[in-house]
Each structure stands twice: as structure tokens, then as C-alpha cells.
Amino acid sequence: MLPKEIKDRLEAEIRHVEHPRELAVDVMFAVQEHYGYLSDAALAEAAALLGMTPLELDELATFYTFTFREPVGKYVIHVCDSVVCWMNGYASVRDYLCRRLSIGMGETTADGLFTLLPVCCIGYCDRSPAMLVNRRVHGELTPEKIDGILAKLRREAESGAERPKVQGVDAITG
């Protein structure tokens, strides 16, 4: 069950709009943020809030890239594999990450910390090769930079910090 404050907030937002369905993605994101992914139960809960059937919401959840219907790690690393990153070393970034995390693409580390996925162009071609960690972008990747990012995330996880939320307006450069 969703905590009351999340549920109340979502219900209030839904009440505010004319067609609850238009908030489908927002509600899925919020529920996913809480549970880590959209389990069948989470999907049903989200659907009920929206007045949709689980199937109707699943038609969307399975369509989109950033809604997860299977468990993912605490940190989801999306490596951009589209054409600019590809020509600027995507394969090496991918291989480096696979090696450092000892997992293949599409897998989650045994400690549940990291999931590695490929993703289409994320709109940071000027800073390729690039990747996202929980939708926060990291560009101009080098082995050192990747090591630094992974180390920081591990420290963050160890310190028991809250599950990281999607990035805020701290990095504002375009």
C-alpha cells in the first residue's frame, strides 16, 4: 500500500484534472518512485487511483521506456547507444560498465544496487558518450569518470541515504 501522503497527493492531483487518465504517467512515476518498480500490485494500485483497469494502465506501462514492470536496482544506469554516442565509444562505455559491475546489459547486480540498460538518444549528443543514472545525465564519460560515479553511488547507498529521487534543478546548465 502506498503511504497516505503519497496517495493523498496523487488523489488531489487527479481530482484537479478533468480526465484522470492524463495523469497516468505522473502516477506511474510516483508509484514507481515509491516501490522501485511497477509490480502487478503497484500497477493495480496506480490504476485504481486513475479509475483505469490494470490492463489499461499496463498498455501504457509496457509501452514506455522509463516505466519498469520488472524489479530494477536502486540505481538504473541507462547507457545511450544511439548514433552519436555509438560513434563516440558507446561500446567501450558499455563494456567498461559491464566489467566494473560484473553484469551484462539488462541485468541487476547481486547486491541490488545497479541495473544496466541501453537507451535511445537522450538528447545529450553534445556531451557524448553519455548515460543516465536514475534519469540524471552524465556526459563525456571516461573510465575515471565512471569509476567516480559508481564509487559515489556506492557510498551514498552505504550511508543509507534515501533512495535517490529523480534529479532536481541542481545541474542547470544546458
Partner 1 sequence: MTLANYPQVLFQNRRPDRIATLEEYRASGGYQALAEVVGRRSPREVQELVLDAALLGRGGAAFPAGRKMMTIAADAPFPRYLVCNADEMEPGTFKDRVLIHADPHMLIEGIAITAWAVRAEKAAIFIRPEYENAARILEREIRIAAAAGYLGRAILGSDFSLEIVVHRSAGRYICGEVTAQLNALMGQRPNPKQPPPYATEKGLWDQPTLAHNVETLACLPHIVRNGAEWFKKLALTPTGAGTKIFGVSGKVKRPGCYELPIGVPLSEIIEEYAGGMLEGSEFKACLPGGASTGFLPRQHYHVEMDFDALKKVGNRLGTGAIMVFDHKTCLVAATLNLMEFFARESCGWCTPCREGLPYIRDLLARIEAGEGEPEFVPMLEEMKTHLFRSYCAFAPGAAAPLESLLAHFKEEIQKHIREKSCPFKKEPEPGVAGLAKPRFIA
Partner 2 sequence: MPKLTIDDREIEVAGGTKVIEAAARLGIMIPRFCYHPALGSVGACRVCAVKVLEGPVKGVQMSCMLDAADGMQVSTTDREAVEFRRYVIEWLMMNHPHDCPVCDEGGHCLLQDMTVSGGHGIRRFPGKKRTYPDQDLGPLVQHEMNRCIHCYRCTRFYQQFCGYRDLGALSIGNRTYFGRVASGRLESPFSGNLSDICPTGVFTDKPSRYFGRRWDYQRTPTICINCSLGCHAVTSVRYRQVARQEARMSAAVNGWFLCDRGRYGFFYASLPGRPRQAAVKGETTTMDEAIAHARSRLETLPPDAIAVNGSARSSLEVLAMTERAARLKGWRGPAFFADAGAAHNVKTAIARLEEGLAVSLGEIGQADFILVVGADPINEAPMLALALRQAVQKGAGILVLDPRPVCLPFGFMHVPTAPEALGAVLGRLVKKSIGPAGLDGPAARFYASLPDEPATGQEVLARAAGLLAASRRPVIVCGTGIVASALVGLAADAALLLTAAQKKAGLFYILPEANSFASGLLAPPESTTDRILKAVVDGDVKALVFVENDPFATSPDRELLERALAKVELLVVLDYLDTPVSRRAHVFLPTQTLYESGGIFINQEGRAQYSAAAFAGGAPILETGGSDHPPRVYGTGLPGADPQPAGQIMAQLAGEPMASEIGARPEYFGGSTVSELAELPDVEAFPEEGQRLSPKNLPADRFKSVLPPSSAAESDELEIILTERTFGSEDLSSYSACLETREDEPLAGLHRRDAESLGIREGDGIAIRTGNTTLEFAVRVYDNMASGVMVVPRLQRLPWQGLGKRVRRQDIRKA
Residues found near partner 2 in the complex (CB under 8 A): 40, 43, 52-56, 58-59, 62-63
CB of 62 to partner 2, least distance (A): 4
**How many other C-beta atoms can be found within 10 angstroms of the C-beta atom of residue 78?**
21
- Give whichever of 47 and 149 is closer to partner 2, judged by the CB atom: 47
Instruction: Evaluate whether 112 touches 153 at the Cβ level (below 8 Å).
Output: no
- 88's contact among partner 1, partner 2, none, with CB below 5 to 8 A by partner kind, is partner 1
- Give the CA-trace dihedral at 50, 51, 55, 58, to 10 degrees: -10
Binding at 99: pick from partner 2, partner 1, none (beta carbon under 5-8 Å per type):
partner 1
> Of the two residues 1 and 134, which places its CB atom closer to partner 1 in the complex?
134
Q: Shortest Cβ distance from residue 166 to partner 2 (Å)?
A: 22
The minimum distance between CB 71 and partner 1, in angstroms, equals 18
Other CB atoms within a 10 A radius of the CB of residue 158 amount to 9
CB of 14 vs partner 1, minimal distance in Å: 11
Q: Is the link from the previous residue into 129 a cis peptide, with omega within 30 of 0?
A: yes
Residue listed under C-alpha cell 520488472: 70
Residue 135 DSSP class: T
Residue position matching grid coordinates 540505481 = 75
**Nearest to partner 1 of 159, 173 (CB atom):** 173
